[in-house]
Chain A
Amino acid sequence: MALRGLGRRISIGKRCFSSASEVEKRPRDGKQINLFSAINQALHIALETDSRAYVFGEDVGFGGVFRCTTGLADRFGRNRVFNTPLCEQGIAGFAIGLAAMGNRAIAEIQFADYIYPAFDQVVIPRSPQQAKGLLLACIRDPNPVVFFEPKWLYRLAVEEVPERDYMLPLSQAEVIRQGSDITLVGWGAQLSVLERACDEAAKDGISCELIDLRTLIPWDKETVEASVRKTGRLLVSHEAPVTGGFGAEISASIAERCFLRHGLQLEAPVARICGLDTPFPLVYEPFYMPTKNKVLDAIKATVNY
């Protein structure tokens, strides 16, 4: 699919509109037209009603490879509707600078695929011994792999590591602690937070099963599912923002698989203790983080649901 980026600000969700036209529930007049024509109409209107609007990207000048920009250059001129060199990062960067000066920058990315990195595999270790084995496995794997190294663990995590050459399996989660009341899933640096939450929950008589996912894409659904079938409850925790975060994927998948299965079911909704949907802040960092206490409160709430 093609991707369109808009400046001055990113428009997401229900927010107030800056143009004069009202948002209609369902327009009652108009002709039957297809998607690219509808987009073309919208772009014509955008350029017509805002003299500071610009449309640019690869091949937009002649009308675009998907015909979305037909007629725009002829009507508004090559200063406002123009081709860019073949470079998505250039298009994005240029758009930001243009928007920063108070213009409406409408950047066309020809194929969304070109803007997203191609993740085939994503792997993240929790400790030194894990890091060595997983990294060797990643390097020797024939697929491209993104290997995340939690900066926080670089120095603080210390563990006995075999000196020999060894590999740990990719796409295999590890159950670090056995438990019966609730399954906790995490990866990387967050596991130490979860471990501490487990310890404290134990004092309240809650038995937690702790799983290190290790590989995020593709992830070991079987191990997690087996655990949740045993405990009936799941909590996922990560530092990344909660919306669209990987916890959402795990939550949705487990809900699909464990909603009602062989007489066992989820006793409570899947809990997610994650970061906020904001850029990572400095002064407010302690507020942003998914702390042990936030996790502990969620464990108790889930167990008592």
Chain B
Amino acid sequence: MSIRHQTKANKEGQGEKPHLDFFLFLPHLLDLFSLLHSTMGLWSVRSRLAHHLGQKMAYLGALQRRSWPLVSFLQLWNPRPSELVGGLSSNPINRCSDRRFASIKAETSAAAMDDRCRYQVMDFPGGKVMFIPEMRFLAESPGERISCYRVLDDDGQTISGSSFQEVSKEIALKMYSDMVTLQIMDTIFYEAQRQGRISFYLTSIGEEAINVASAAALTINDIVFPQYREPGVLLWRGFTLQEFANQCFGNKSDYGKGRQMPIHYGSNRLNYFTVSSPIATQIPHAVGAAYSLKMDKKHACAVTYFGDGGTSEGDFHAALNFAAVMEVPIIFFCRNNGWAISTPTTEQFRSDGAVIRGQAYGLRSIRVDGNDALAVYSAVHAAREMAIRESRPILVEALTYRVGHHSTSDDSTKYRPVDEIEHWRTARDPVSRYRKWIERNGWLCDDAESELRSNVRKELLHAIQVAEKMEKPPLAELFTDVYDQVPSNLHEQERLLRETIKQHNGDYPPEVPV
């Protein structure tokens, strides 16, 4: 939606109805009051004003086709230059400026406001702007943090008045089953690393709802560019426990042919771009992929995941900007779990999380309770629809907590309190919260629960056994896939290497077939 211009006042204050300028801000599923309440720090409005604006908005029929209400921004009250004299409180113009900074005073007469506060419009590259003779700095942060969308309370009850995307019993149960599977998978693989059977692992504990519910709201045609804490998305799409285990052990059935560390999963079949260790590199990749989808007119979007730390990378900035300019169908999903290894978000950025940055790039954004499976599902469902229908990027910030250590190479008790971790592991567990909702619907009984857990455990232990025994890929795979054909310099290096192996066989691991 482009910014519309505010016209000059007509004579005798009989102004035509002012056209409100609109600035695309962020979609909310809450009512208009809350929406206006979360505008940038300059304006904190009260219900009367909200009503006034609501009427103005309804007047502009163009908005009706939008599913998200838009909010008026800065241009409502601007004093005319001729009136900028005198002291503070008596001058009607200064009442305008008082209002700009006064957080709780509502205006007295909306009409009078419009009269006094019109300005000339100036033309610059980039479009028309209103000017003001008073110097005003935008506050560094809005008066309040952007609100967080949630549907289920801590006890798994749907909050009255909440709106969310309905989910069938079948999908709801699959979501639960996959969240449980992810939890068990994480526990067992973590243990396997501790036993020295695999070299590395990282868990997604605490982020099961983010993983599975977001995946459930997508289709298989939506291409996923993960960071590394989203194996649940792959699980939802049908990656088997055996496939996970094969990659962790780097055996000959690993699609990555033993080249990468554990958890670096990927699947062409399931439209899941292979995990790569460097942070945030996947974000601009996803934008390029989204552009391709748009050019090919596919009914699909790209989805990329990253953490709070990832938003500090230049690639994050580059990607959001490119996506907005090129108008591509993409969901940027930020897992704000509070920690980037040992760095808390207070040391990561000074903005209000990631959601607030969407607007800076011209992106719609939403903040959601990442531990609320239904909220995550609904938000991603809506975001996907918008992204594809309108060919635009959407930023979703899910607030959550990283319950596990960063990885098996980390001991997070070194930098955060144990009771904080335990609190989030138990009282704020997304899986049990969601379970309560399912149970309330009568969709789950205790027997099914324990049977599920026991089956998953068995299947996983078996998969690990099989994966561990399987031989590694042959040495030749060290030199393949660097280029599409093995070039002469690599042929030569392979030849020399094989000679060395003959001389010093004991230097090399016997489980790699030469």
Contact = CB atoms under 8 A, between A and B. Distances in A.
B487 A283 contact: no
Contact of A90 (B289, B290, B322, B501): B322
Contacts of B501: 287
Contacts of B295: 79
Interface stretch (A31-39, A93-101, A111-119, A125-133): A93-101
A291 B496 CA distance: 13
Interface string A147-184: 00000000000000000000000000000000000000
A187 interface: no
Nearest to A85: B321
Given A277-B493, A282-B261, A286-B508, A90 B487 contact: no
A265 interface: no
B258 A281 contact: yes
Nearest to A280: B259
A85 B507 contact: no
A204 to B, nearest CB: 15
Interface stretch (A11-19, A191-199, A250-258): A11-19
A89 B509 contact: no
B285 A93 contact: yes
Interface in A45-99: 79, 82, 84-85, 87, 89-90, 92-99
Contacts of B286: 97
A16 B288 contact: no
A274 to B, nearest CB: 10
Contacts of B464: none
B489 A243 contact: yes
B489 A283 contact: no
A284 interface: yes
A294 interface: yes
Contacts of A9: 483-484
A297 interface: yes
A278 B288 contact: no
Interface residues of B, number: 56
B259 A279 contact: yes
A20 interface: no
Interface string B225-260: 100000000000000000000000010000000111
B500 A293 contact: yes
B289 A98 contact: yes
B307 interface: no
A35 to B, nearest CB: 27
Given A276-B493, A286-B508, A93 B288 contact: yes
B478 A281 contact: yes
Contact of A103 (B292, B315, B472, B490): B292
B92 interface: no
B475 interface: yes
B470 to A, nearest CB: 12
Contact of A278 (B479, B503, B509): B479
A100 B507 CA distance: 38
A1 interface: no
A170 B493 CA distance: 34
Contacts of A16: 485
Given A87-B321, A105-B288, 19 more contacts: A13-B488, A82-B326, A90-B318, A93-B283, A93-B285, A94-B285, A97-B290, A100-B285, A103-B292, A276-B497, A277-B482, A278-B482, A278-B490, A279-B482, A282-B250, A282-B260, A288-B478, A293-B504, A293-B507
The 7 closest A-B pairs by CB, nearest first: A93-B284, A97-B288, A90-B318, A97-B285, A98-B288, A283-B258, A101-B292
